[in-house]
Amino acid sequence: MAIDATRWNSIRYTIWAPIYDLVARRLDRGRRHAHLLAGVKPGERVLLDGAGTGLDLELLPHDAIITAIDITPSMIERLRDRARRLGVDVDARVGDGQALSFADESFDVVMLHLIVAVIPDPVACLREAERVLRPGGRVSIFDKFVADGETASRLRRLANVVTSAAATDITRSLGPIVASTSLRVMRDEAAAFGGLFRAVVAEKANQKP
């Protein structure tokens, strides 16, 4: 029986979980840049969507109100361990970024760090992030993208056969994904590996048009 893409994500990241930090720590500088652009303020309600092992926790204000979800239970267990070591209070649970269980306008900030290029349906992911944001809230995106208006090279497409099976898609462009929402990009900056990774902040309109 075929395994659906979301279930496969949970399986493969269960395999990755024990060594995830060793790989993801190479992106610490880019992650810090994404946090700088997002500018999370004390007391804001933050959703870490696709939170992994919780590497974002140490970069958030300690009095932020943090919720974290990930499709992989073993990632959430590691996140809870990290939160205990840091003394950070987190509502951590298994969840699917394509179908969030939260009410509309529940958060001030949604962080999509290293998830948009991984999740099977990035459009659904971003639309759900928009839905749970308050008016004027913002999405922080940190991930690898092909520049808008460009086509992935043949070499990159070939490499994607391997990377998409093992961990992540490396051929996605962010522009069309954001365009499926009413979010407005406020900042878009190179964050790591010569611009392969971008740090983007997009804002939800203060009111419906």
The domain that contains 198 carries what CATH number? 3.40.50.150
What is the number of domains present in the chain?
1
CB 159 within 8 A of CB 103: no
CA dist list (Å): 156 to 134, 166, 200 = 37, 15, 22
Q: DSSP readout, 3-61? A: PPHHHHHHHHHHHHGGGHHHHHGGGHHHHHHHHHHH-PPTT-EEEEET-TT-TTGGGS-
Kindly tell me if the per-residue pLDDT of 203 is higher than 90.
yes
- HSE value, Cβ hemisphere, 13 Å, CA-based, for 188: 14
Of the chain, the percentage scoring pLDDT greater than 90 comes to 71
Euclidean distance between the first and final Cα of the chain, in Å?
45
* 88 vs 129: CA distance, rounded Å: 23
> In this predicted structure, what is the pLDDT of residue 138?
98
Confidence (pLDDT) at 184 = 97
Would you say residue 162 lies in a domain?
no
46 burial (CB, 10 Å; 0-12 / 13-18 / 19+) is buried
pLDDT value at 80 more than 90: yes
Asked, for residue 157, whether it belongs to a domain, the answer is no
- Flag whether the pTM goes above 0.85: yes
Longest alpha-carbon distance in the chain: 48
139: three-class secondary structure by DSSP: strand
Structural domain boundaries enclosing 112: 5-144+177-203
- Residue owning tokens 């048009």: 209
Per the domain annotation, does 153 fall within a domain? no
Decide if 79 is inside a domain: yes
pLDDT digits (tens, 9 = 90+) for 3-29: 577 876 777 778 878 888 888 899 999
| Residue 185 in domain | yes
Residue of 5 and 38 predicted with greater confidence = 38
Tell whether 208 is covered by a domain.
Answer: no
pLDDT digits (tens, 9 = 90+) for 125-176: 999 999 999 999 999 999 999 887 777 778 878 877 667 766 777 778 999 9
Nearest to 169 by CA among 143, 194, 138: 143
pLDDT given for residue 2 in this prediction: 40
pLDDT at 207 over 70: no
Whether 132 is in a domain gets the answer: yes
- Residue that wins the pLDDT comparison between 150 and 97: 97
Kindly state the percentage of the chain with pLDDT values over 70. Answer: 94
Residue 149 backbone dihedrals phi, psi, to 5 degrees: 85, -10
- Average of pLDDT values for 72-90? 96
In a domain, 64, yes or no: yes
